[in-house]
Amino acid sequence: MASQNFNFLAEKWEVLDKVAEAAERNVYQDPNTAIMKIRTFAETIAKYITAFEQIQEVGVVNQNERLRKLKNEQIVPFEMINLFHTIRSKGNSAAHNPDYGTEREALTLLQMSFRIAVWFMEVYGDYSFKAPTYTEPAQDTVITETELEQITQSYEDKLSQMERELEIVRAAQVEISSTDKDRRRRVGQRTGSNLQLTERETRVLIDEQLRDAGWEADTEQLRYAYGARPEKGKNRAIAEWPLKKGYADYALFIGLKLVGLVEAKKMSKDIPSDIEQAKQYARLVVRHGDEQVMEPWGDYFVPFLFATNGRPYLKQLEGLKFMTNTC
């Protein structure tokens, strides 16, 4: 049985199809395992890219180092690098904690990996490729332990042959002209810039960027409704913070002090227009407990407002890093 969403990979890269199938079939029964399989999927694609680009990897190279090189050499656009890094980070968490991962989180990462797969196919597979519509795996899909073991063994057998296959890919690139390589680079940048994420995917990206900037953030777990509150000595981004009317996507706390509100929007949204919504929210702040709300600046009860769709990656967050380090 091929993977539900990724079978377009099977003809050229069967191992990717097999790993994706293992991830899909685990989403509801074992989200932790699904997230680890998604990490393997993204790592395998990154290895293929280095082979296509004739990048030799000497010794043990981890995914973070691999992605840094692909980013620095402008081989993979930052939109896709963000997805790769998010999957890497979440996969590492799942690998180190057997209780880590929810169905919702696994489903979001699976859709991110689908976007990576489509980009990879468009750039390295077929320029005329038309991506299928992504379909969330059915919840009533049941897989027995025997079936799951067979799927796992199938992709592990394929992975064991990877190094030989990667060498074949590298050798084939000798015949590729510089013109063809330039075209591949242009297609990669163009398709990356056209990436459209859902708001749920964007939230996961923003979580990662907030953590990189020094905040505790987890839109799935660190939520007001789940009991998350500001704490002394911690920089927290608490999701779905209630206001007098509505909710802020994230409320930023340095200790007990509310210092900012962040609005998360999907990538297709016009961010400057959403600053107005953030301004409105800044007028609707109300205390719920021990948190400290600053004296208002005119009508606003927070000094920092931010609307983001998760891009560009680090530039937008310099203000957050500065605030974290100086407040």
Residue type at position 304:
F
155 lies in which domain range?
A: 7-195
- In the chain, the number of structural domains is 2
Inform me whether the pLDDT recorded for 157 exceeds 80: no
Q: Specify the pLDDT at position 275.
A: 63
Indicate if 188 and 221 belong to the same structural domain.
no
Indicate if 37 and 166 belong to the same structural domain.
yes
Which residue in the block uniquely carries the two structure tokens 């002394």? 232
Mean pLDDT throughout 165-179?
85
Selection from 227, 217, 244, 219 nearest residue 301 by Cα: 244
Residue 204 in domain: no
Indicate if 20 and 157 belong to the same structural domain.
yes
Token pair, residue 218, equals 């987890």
Residue 203 in domain: no
Mean pLDDT throughout 120-136?
94
Indicate if 90 and 226 belong to the same structural domain.
no
Residue 202 in domain: no
Mean pLDDT throughout 111-120?
97
What's the length of the chain?
327
Indicate if 227 and 141 belong to the same structural domain.
no
Inform me whether the pLDDT recorded for 272 exceeds 60: no
Residue 206 in domain: no
Residue-wise pLDDT for 224-263, tens only, equals 999 999 999 999 999 999 999 999 999 999 999 998 888 8
Residue 201 in domain: no
Indicate if 63 and 160 belong to the same structural domain.
yes
Inform me whether the pLDDT recorded for 2 exceeds 60: no
Token pair, residue 200, equals 């749920």
∠ Cα 291 292 297 (to 5°): 140
Indicate if 65 and 167 belong to the same structural domain.
yes
Distance (Å, whole) CA 305 – CA 64: 31
Mean pLDDT throughout 221-226?
92
Inform me whether the pLDDT recorded for 317 exceeds 60: no
Distance (Å, whole) CA 172 – CA 209: 37
Choose one of 145, 162, 195: the last residue of a domain.
195
Choose one of 195, 223, 242: the last residue of a domain.
195
Indicate if 182 and 244 belong to the same structural domain.
no
Indicate if 260 and 191 belong to the same structural domain.
no
Mean pLDDT throughout 92-120?
94
Classify burial at 35, counting beta carbons within 10 Å of its beta carbon; exposed 0-12, middle 13-18, buried 19 or more: buried
Residue 208 in domain: no
The total of other beta-carbon atoms located within 10 Å of residue 40's CB is 22
Q: Specify the pLDDT at position 158.
A: 72
Indicate if 284 and 239 belong to the same structural domain.
yes
The helix/strand/coil state of 262 is: strand
Residue 267 in domain: yes
Classify burial at 151, counting beta carbons within 10 Å of its beta carbon; exposed 0-12, middle 13-18, buried 19 or more: buried
Mean pLDDT throughout 123-130?
94
Residue type at position 196:
Q
Indicate if 219 and 269 belong to the same structural domain.
yes
Mean pLDDT throughout 63-85?
93
Indicate if 157 and 301 belong to the same structural domain.
no
Are residues 52 and 127 in contact, defined by beta-carbon separation less than 8 angstroms? no
Are residues 52 and 171 in contact, defined by beta-carbon separation less than 8 angstroms? no
Distance (Å, whole) CA 32 – CA 176: 40
Phi-psi region of 280 (alpha: psi -120 to 50; beta: other; left: phi over 0): alpha
Mean pLDDT throughout 87-110?
93
| Least confident interval from 4-8, 87-91, 156-160, 208-212 | 156-160
Residue 239 in domain: yes
Choose one of 195, 229, 254: the last residue of a domain.
195
| Percent with pLDDT over 90 in the chain | 44
Phi, psi of 237 (to 5 degrees): -110, 100
Residue 177: pLDDT band (50, 70, 90) is confident
Residue 139: pLDDT band (50, 70, 90) is confident
